[in-house]
């Protein structure tokens, strides 16, 4: 099937359009959106099998030949990310059906989620740098809707900042694309890579590389550009926060990964050095934030910044092992962050508060939730049989291979502190003296546990079965190490 890469974008898009016709019929909305996401997952699995069997799949929209038309390119990396995003969305929407108030659901919640998924899958799949901008806007506009859903004072205040940051970064994105276009005269990512290679990488390419780093860094929340994240992400309800935390920053990370391995790999001494330093600073700042706060949401939000740092350090190292680790860790982090947000959401549903001082002793009444959280926290920190371990090991190994001592050691130390920050929630929330709970949604806790536990189960399977996943990761990393594979698949010379 030649149009297969289109399906994970088209299914959510068309279902979102369909859902727009009856926004108030909540039951129908729920059923259709679950079916559509399940369809997206199936399409992504079929696509992954196809890519595994026959190599990189491309679709040239409107049958314009490669450098002129807009291509959609599914290599293993993008397929794995599309698959993971779709699976995550499935569980989060399931959770949201139980958790969300009806007033939220009536206000286009499912439609927003479907458009978000369209944009994210599109951004992972597209092979055209301007089209990447368009898909960025698709999921950003959906995220503007979702972040302000509910319309409370704090939400409005935070979404203005979120919107302002993203409007500015979009303008910078257009500017960066303009500079890139003036230098290479093409927008097809494979063609851009080839032209930059022919030009022999003049200094302006390095400038454009830094420009793109600023743009994607704002989306991905790396060190100096993460400042908006803790405030904005604490505003929306938990299921939306889980989607944002697991998916949105990862699109920025993916874009840095893609551009820095495909376009800007010539002058690594400068660009990748900066990326490595910023990644390490992100880890430091994230760890400080995760330890400093006693608000469960804020702790996990700062853990996003840490994970982004760890992944980008792997990208900056640019050795095969480090890149494999980065991809491994990227997929792991998407799953485990969503799971943690969902579990923390259950804690908040029970206690009606998000501060640790108002929690305690929950393990007595909710042992299942407590131990699920415990396993998820171990997986987050990368305790061996669980999913974070392999990725971190490969990143650290790749870091040592480049001769850098500080980076890998910092990542190892940060793992301990991440474990401490996650365990702080466990110790204070589940152990200790029981307190009075005032959560209005406490009766939902056991039903909410099922989708959250499903995600933790995926994380466990992903970790234990990493041997089985490894060939896929290896295949995903091949075009990152050797851009010629990507270029050849797209331009078909």
Partner 1 sequence: MEILMSIVVGVLFMSAVYLILSKSLLRVIIGTGLLSHGAHLLVLTMSGLKTGDAPVLMDGVSSYTDPLPQALVLTAIVISFGVTAFFLVLAYRAYQELGTDNMEEMKGNDSND
CB 328 within 8 A of CB 466: yes
Q: Is 153 exposed, middle or buried (0-12, 13-18, 19+ CB in 10 A)?
A: exposed
Based on CB atoms, which residue is closest to partner 1, 9 or 187?
187
CA 368 to chain centre: 27
Based on CB atoms, which residue is closest to partner 1, 40 or 169?
169
CB of 64 to partner 1, least distance (A): 12
CA 476 to chain centre: 16
CB of 313 to partner 1, least distance (A): 31
Q: Does 134 bind partner 1 (CB under 8 A)?
A: yes
CB 132 within 8 A of CB 216: no
CA 151/CA 25 separation, integer angstroms: 21
Based on CB atoms, which residue is closest to partner 1, 152 or 368?
152
CA 268/CA 447 separation, integer angstroms: 50
Q: Nearest-CA neighbor of 86 among 113, 56, 65? A: 113
Q: Does 177 bind partner 1 (CB under 8 A)?
A: yes
Helices vs. strands in the chain: H and E counts, helices first: 21, 2
Q: Does 207 bind partner 1 (CB under 8 A)?
A: no
Identified binder of partner 1 from the candidate list 17, 20, 49, 178, rule CB under 8 A: 178
CA 74/CA 106 separation, integer angstroms: 35
Based on CB atoms, which residue is closest to partner 1, 152 or 443?
152
CA 129/CA 209 separation, integer angstroms: 13
Count of residues touching partner 1 (by CB under 8 A): 33
Based on CB atoms, which residue is closest to partner 1, 213 or 375?
213
Q: Does 321 bind partner 1 (CB under 8 A)?
A: no
Q: Nearest-CA neighbor of 290 among 278, 301, 277, 279? A: 301
Q: Does 179 bind partner 1 (CB under 8 A)?
A: yes
Q: If residue 30 lies in a helix (H) or strand (E), which one and from where to where?
A: helix 26-54
Based on CB atoms, which residue is closest to partner 1, 187 or 322?
187
CA 408/CA 420 separation, integer angstroms: 19
CB of 224 to partner 1, least distance (A): 17
Based on CB atoms, which residue is closest to partner 1, 70 or 375?
70
Please compute Rg for the chain using Cα positions: 21
Identified binder of partner 1 from the candidate list 34, 61, 98, 172, rule CB under 8 A: 172
Mark the segment that binds partner 1 (CB under 8 A) among 22-30, 169-177, 313-321, 423-431: 169-177
Based on CB atoms, which residue is closest to partner 1, 169 or 319?
169
Site string for partner 1, 350-389 (x = CB under 8 A): ----------------------------------------
**What is the greatest pairwise CA distance in the chain?**
69
Identified binder of partner 1 from the candidate list 107, 181, 371, 374, rule CB under 8 A: 181
Mark the segment that binds partner 1 (CB under 8 A) among 33-41, 180-188, 220-228, 244-252: 180-188
CB 407 within 8 A of CB 309: no
Name the DSSP class of 309.
H
Q: Does 227 bind partner 1 (CB under 8 A)?
A: no
The residue length of the chain stands at 493
Identified binder of partner 1 from the candidate list 10, 38, 46, 141, rule CB under 8 A: 141
Mark the segment that binds partner 1 (CB under 8 A) among 97-105, 163-171, 309-317, 471-479: 163-171
CB neighbourhood size of 83 (10 A): 22
CB of 234 to partner 1, least distance (A): 8
Give me the residues that bind partner 1 (CB under 8 A), please: 130, 133-134, 137, 141, 144, 148, 151-154, 156-157, 159-161, 163-164, 167-168, 170-172, 174-175, 177-179, 181-182, 185, 187, 231
């Amino acid at each position: 099937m030649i149009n297969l890469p289109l399906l994970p974008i088209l299914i959510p898009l068309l279902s979102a359009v369909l859902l727009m016709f009856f926004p108030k019929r909540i039951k129908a909305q729920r059923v259709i959106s679950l079916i559509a996401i399940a369809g997206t997952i199936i399409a992504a699995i079929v696509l992954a099998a196809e890519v595994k069997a026959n190599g990189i799949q491309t679709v040239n929209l409107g049958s314009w030949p490669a450098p002129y038309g807009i291509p959609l390119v599914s290599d293993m990396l993008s397929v794995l990310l599309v698959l993971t995003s779709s699976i995550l969305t499935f569980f989060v929407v399931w959770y949201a059906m139980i958790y969300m108030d009806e007033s939220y659901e009536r206000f286009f919640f499912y439609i927003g989620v479907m458009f978000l998924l369209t944009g994210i899958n599109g951004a992972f799949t597209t092979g055209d740098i301007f089209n990447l901008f368009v898909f960025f806007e698709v999921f950003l506009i959906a995220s503007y809707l979702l972040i302000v859903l509910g319309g409370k004072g704090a939400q409005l205040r935070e979404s203005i900042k979120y919107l302002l940051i993203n409007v500015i970064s979009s303008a910078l994105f257009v500017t960066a694309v303009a500079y890139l276009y003036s230098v290479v005269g093409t927008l097809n990512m494979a063609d851009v890579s080839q032209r930059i290679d022919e030009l022999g990488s003049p200094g302006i390419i390095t400038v454009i590389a830094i420009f793109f780093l600023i743009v994607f860094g704002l989306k991905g929340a790396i060190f100096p550009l993460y400042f908006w994240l803790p405030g904005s992400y604490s505003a929306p309800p938990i299921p939306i926060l889980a989607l944002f935390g697991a998916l949105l920053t990862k699109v920025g990370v993916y874009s840095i990964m893609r551009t820095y391995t495909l376009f800007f790999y010539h002058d690594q001494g400068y660009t990748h050095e900066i990326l490595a330093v910023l990644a390490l600073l992100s880890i430091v700042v994230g760890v400080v934030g995760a330890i400093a706060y006693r608000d469960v949401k804020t702790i996990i939000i700062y853990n996003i910044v840490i994970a982004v740092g760890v992944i980008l350090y792997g990208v900056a190292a640019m050795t095969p092992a480090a890149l494999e680790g980065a991809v491994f860790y990227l997929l792991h982090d998407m799953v485990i962050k969503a799971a943690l947000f969902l579990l923390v959401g259950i804690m908040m549903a029970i206690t009606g508060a998000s501060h640790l001082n108002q929690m305690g002793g929950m393990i007595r009444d909710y042992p299942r939730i407590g131990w699920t959280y415990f396993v998820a926290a171990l997986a987050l920190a990368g305790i061996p049989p669980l999913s974070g371990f392999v990725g971190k090991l490969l990143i650290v190994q790749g870091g040592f291979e480049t001769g850098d001592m500080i980076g890998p050691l910092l990542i190892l130390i940060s793992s301990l502190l991440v474990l401490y920050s996650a365990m702080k929630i466990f110790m204070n929330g589940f152990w200790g003296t029981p307190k009075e709970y005032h959560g209005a949604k406490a009766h939902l806790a056991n039903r909410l546990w099922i989708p959250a536990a499903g995600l933790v189960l995926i994380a466990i399977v992903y970790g234990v079965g990493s041997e089985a996943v490894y060939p896929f990761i290896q295949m995903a990393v091949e075009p990152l190490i050797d851009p010629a594979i990507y270029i050849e698949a797209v331009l078909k010379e």
